[in-house]
């Protein structure tokens, strides 16, 4: 078994334990393998071990990777999870299946306009800045309902839910608090008539807290691929 396959098995075991602790079906939590900065060969190894959904942060790097793995395209699901500038939306609209990091209406409008007719609607998540950090993207919880309803009305997009990147915390209780904010907002938007089914929250360090609070997608990079070497 390769290191990546072994790591994937470990992460699935963590998800399973956390789901059982939350009284949830482990199948209700999807694993997104965050492959940013890692080579296409690592994605290929993860795919061989059964992983299908991969998350990328950088537009140019990810398009090159998607093209290098074109032979696997039918069985891969590509998620864009990084900050998205309005001048970079076209390649994302053309190549990805999901975008987690829609942080303002303008980005959603451009993705909608640029999504090719031949492709199914682009699955999108509204990014919410639950911790109120100046350095983080995302709408405030107070703005979320109005923006979500506008995004949901756009053609060629399907608003699936919410995403957040809270600031790191040491204890599981402290980690759970911002995830709870996002889940309560998600529940309120659903009660307000939006057909949402996805909560993207939790990374390698706070996976358990996110699952306990209702995450349906956890975004795991380091625990699968190892420490990153940043060149960006």
Q: What is the CATH classification number for the domain harbouring 89?
A: 3.20.20.10
In a domain, 24, yes or no: yes
203 pLDDT band (50/70/90 cuts)? very high
In a domain, 232, yes or no: no
In a domain, 231, yes or no: no
Give the domain range for residue 32. Answer: 3-225
In a domain, 42, yes or no: yes
In a domain, 230, yes or no: no
Q: How many domains does the chain have?
A: 1
Distance CA 143, CA 84 (A): 19
231 pLDDT band (50/70/90 cuts)? low
In a domain, 26, yes or no: yes
- In this model, does residue 178 exceed pLDDT 90? yes
State pLDDT tens for residues 34-89. Answer: 999 999 999 999 999 999 999 999 999 999 999 999 999 999 999 999 999 999 99
Q: Which residue has the higher pLDDT, 150 or 131?
A: 150
Confidence (pTM)? 0.96
CB 15 within 8 A of CB 26: yes
E strands within the chain? 30-34, 53-56, 77-80, 98-102, 122-127, 157-163, 198-200, 217-220
In a domain, 183, yes or no: yes
């Amino acid at each position: 078994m390769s290191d990546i396959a072994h790591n994937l098995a470990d992460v699935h075991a963590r998800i399973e334990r956390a789901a059982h602790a939350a009284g949830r079906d482990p199948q209700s939590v999807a694993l997104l393998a965050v492959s940013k900065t890692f080579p296409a060969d690592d994605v290929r190894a993860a795919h061989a071990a059964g992983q299908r959904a991969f998350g990328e942060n950088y537009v140019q790097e990810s398009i090159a990777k998607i093209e290098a793995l074109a032979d696997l395209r039918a069985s891969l699901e590509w998620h864009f999870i990084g900050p998205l500038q309005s001048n970079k939306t076209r390649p994302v609209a053309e190549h990805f299946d999901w975008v987690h990091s829609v942080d303002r209406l303008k980005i959603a409008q451009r993705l909608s306009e640029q999504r090719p007719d031949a492709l199914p609607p682009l699955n999108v998540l509204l990014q919410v800045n639950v911790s109120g950090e100046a350095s983080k993207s995302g709408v405030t919880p107070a703005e979320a309902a109005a923006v979500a309803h506008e995004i949901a009305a756009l053609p060629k997009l399907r608003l699936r839910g919410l995403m957040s990147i809270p600031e790191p915390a040491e204890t599981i209780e402290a980690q759970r608090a911002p995830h709870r904010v996002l889940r309560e907002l998600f529940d309120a938007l659903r009660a307000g008539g939006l057909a949402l089914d996805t909560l993207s929250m939790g990374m390698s360090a706070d996976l358990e807290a996110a699952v306990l609070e209702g995450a349906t997608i956890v975004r795991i990079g380091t625990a699968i691929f190892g420490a990153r070497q940043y060149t960006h």
